[in-house]
Amino acid sequence: MNAADWKPNAPDGAREAHRFIDYFIRNGVTKGSVLKSVELTYARSNVYFDDVYTYFEKTGAFNVACTKGCAMCCHTMVSVVPPEAFYLANYIRTEFDADTSRKMIERIVAHDAEHRGKSGAARHVGRIACPMLDPDTHLCTVHSARPLTCRSMHSGDVKPCQVAFDTRDAYHPAPSHALFFKNTQAYYDAFGTALDQSGLVVEPLELNAALATIFTGKNVFVRWLKGENPFEEATAEAALTDAPPPS
């Protein structure tokens, strides 16, 4: 293949599901293996996204306008799968000093108590920032552990993002490219297929509600591994009740 014709291939959900199934057969479905599966998924995603950026730079097929400190898209609802929620909760508990970790957990729990059930549109209109966004620098404080949904967010032009933010219009469109979203969908499909076969509940969760459930509940990870559903009140669907219809 001519180098000029090269294009990154997005992960295939069915193929990745087989990879995940084999991984969990070999390693068992444990706290350690689940957390490691997320770490490996993020590492593979980073390689894929690097290829996508390289492809865009070489071909000019799409311009990614997002820059450091541009956090307008951090004022909405974020959907995650349970393994990601457990991974991020573990990251917050272990990668910061005790005081920073405690304050972040308190901030997430308080944020969830105030805003649980609000749709992405309502959070955008209310300019309700993610509790893990630094209000001064506008940088993500958990960037290396951020969920796939966050990793796939992008825009080809900052102007429509600014218009949407300034006018509080959650449905103002911004140019995007399918290659980013295909990665997230493939791995969400893979997690769902592989862990469903183990009898675990895998459904989209609202990020902050899921984290608050983990931080305030008892033995949430253990219960989930036993096939229980400790996230019944934290589903992403529960956060769509006040979403206004697009015009």
Instruction: Please report, in tens digits, the pLDDT of each residue of the chain (247 residues total).
Output: 455 578 899 999 999 999 999 999 999 999 999 999 999 999 999 999 999 999 999 999 999 999 999 999 999 999 999 999 999 999 999 999 999 999 999 999 999 999 999 999 999 999 999 999 999 999 999 999 999 999 999 999 999 999 999 999 988 999 999 999 999 999 999 999 999 999 999 999 999 999 999 999 999 999 999 999 999 999 998 666 665 555 5
CA distance readout (Å), 106 to 36, 90, 125, 142, 183: 26, 15, 24, 15, 32
| pTM of this prediction exceeds 0.85 | yes
Structure tokens at 52: 């996508």
Amino acid letter, residue 61: A
Strand segments, DSSP code E, in the chain are: 79-80, 205-206
CA distance readout (Å), 243 to 59, 82, 209: 38, 23, 17
Contact 210, 231 (CB under 8 A): yes
Contact 78, 206 (CB under 8 A): yes
User: Any residues with CB less than 8 A from the CB of 91 and at least 6 apart, and which?
Assistant: 142, 144, 145
pLDDT in the model for residue 1: 47
By C-alpha distance, which of 82, 83, 78, 45 is closest to 182?
A: 45
Structure tokens at 4: 């000029």
Structure tokens at 113: 């108590």
pLDDT in the model for residue 4: 58
Q: Please report, to the nearest 10 degrees, the dihedral formed by the alpha carbons of residues 92, 96, 102, 106 taken in order.
A: -50
- Map out the domains of the chain as residue ranges: 10-240
HSE, side-chain direction, 13 A CA sphere, residue 180? 17
Q: What is the DSSP letter of 126?
A: T
